[in-house]
Amino acid sequence: MWVALLVLVLSVMYGLMFGYMVYVSLMEEVFAINPDPPRYAIPTHFHNYIEWFLITTPALVGLGGTAGSISYLVRRRRRFWRAFQR
């Protein structure tokens, strides 16, 4: 059970880190508030499909690890409480 908790914590951190990278990239490229940057600003870097794959895949892996760990811990808790109720 401690291993599942460790996997949960690591998956949440992993998903949040890469999820934030996806969020920032979407804000820059898709939902740009100011599409014309100021005079001395660096132009927006647009990701190609390989870069999007390399950003979104770890975010999805973190999300899957989080969901799997929570699912395991919930099932484990139910079994644990059933054993004590008998």
* Domain boundaries along the sequence of the chain: 2-32+46-85
85 or 8, which is more confident? 8
Model confidence pLDDT, tens digit, residues 9-65: 999 999 999 999 999 899 888 887 766 667 777 777 788 999 999 999 999 999 999
Q: Which of 24, 66, 67 is nearest to 47 (CA)?
A: 24
pLDDT at 86: 64
E runs forming strands in 1-86: none
pLDDT at 35: 64
Tokens 């401690």: give the residue: 2
